[in-house]
Amino acid sequence: MSLQKTIKLNSGNTIPVIGLGTHALKGEDGIRSIVHAIEVGYRHLDTAELYDNEVEVGEAIRRSGIKREELFVTTKLTSFKHHPDVVEQALDKSLERLGLDYVDLFLMHSPFAFIEQPDSVTASTGYVKDNKDDGSSSDEPKVEANEDTESGKIMGPVDAKIDYIDTWIAMEKVFAKGKAKSIGVSNFSNYKIQRLLKAANIKPAVNQIELHPYFSNIEYVKFNQDNGIAVTAFSPLGADVGEKGLRQDPVITEIAKKLGATNVQVLIAWGVQRNTIVIPMAAEHEYITSNFQQVILDDDDVEKINGLDRNEPVLDLTRFYGPKWSVYVD
């Protein structure tokens, strides 16, 4: 059963709560997987410039024959293009690769602006300062350059001259031009959201953060939702690490067996019933289909899953931003 549930964003637009994460879907096989997802009933596709697959997503949309207005397409501004003067150009390039006139949601992929570095770079001395309400400032930890596994680009150092507030103001301008029907952020902590809200003319519609039962981020979900910002969960299935992974957790297995469902369906249901948007990634057609079939958890099931929290993220962003750097530390 697919419930086709949607959430109304503060921009007035609606977003399907189950989308297809596409970050690993590339080439002809990736196109076919995305086409299959659309045929199954997915109406929300999540991509990014950093994933290097906007061309494939656009081709899949064209091959599917679906009407543009029936789809919700998200893409993201890469951290290499935070300068306000290049934000619109970056979105225009994404639209060109997608073959679309607009995206439904344009996210700032990270609050950090990186300077693209040659392959020879191995370390940097960048700092970022956030001015606090009392007039003081906090030096964030030193940033070490590191290769991003998606793009192969060297991430770092941080460009301390570019404030995400200025990047956001540039994003508001592309929203005003209709190139993005909604705008939002990703990997923003509560403090950074709070700071952004004080300066923004347009409130972010979405904050996309890592969420799953081993990393439930309860306070972050509540803070965003209390401020009228919808939350999208990336990595909603946790890490795929065999028998010790979330997908094979005995609690999840027990609930799935009771419901006659798959373990992944249970994980997706938990995310949906938190009133969050989930974007599980799958490449095989069988799993794409299965993931879209929704089940309903009772309150006892939800509480059992809530009890699995380990504060254990899949994506350790400190690998990119330095040993003590985390988007979840204010």
Our answer to whether residue 51 is catalytic in this structure is yes
* 36-66: burial string, b at 16+ Cβ within 10 Å, e else: bbbebebbbbbbbbbbebbbbbbbbbeebee
Nearest to 127 by CA among 326, 317, 321, 318: 321
Entry field: residues in the chain:
330
Enter the tokens of residue 114. Answer: 């990186």
Q: Look-up: residue for tokens 């750097």?
A: 325
The catalytically annotated residue of 51, 164, 220, 321 is 51
Torsion of CA 118, 119, 121, 126, to 10 degrees: 60
Q: From CA 264, how far away is CA 327, in angstroms rounded? A: 27
Q: Are 207 and 185 in contact (CB under 8 A)?
A: yes
Residues 6+ apart with CB under 8 A from 163: none
In eight-state DSSP terms, residue 244 is G
Task: Write out the binding residues for substrate.
Answer: 109
How open is the CA angle 83-203-73, to the nearest 5 degrees? 75
Asked whether 96 and 70 are in contact (CB, 8 A), the reply is: no
Sequence-distant (≥ 6) Cβ neighbours of residue 76 within 8 angstroms: 47, 48, 49, 50, 106, 107, 108, 109, 186
CA 151 to chain centroid, in Å, comes to 16
Q: What are the residue numbers of the active site?
A: 51
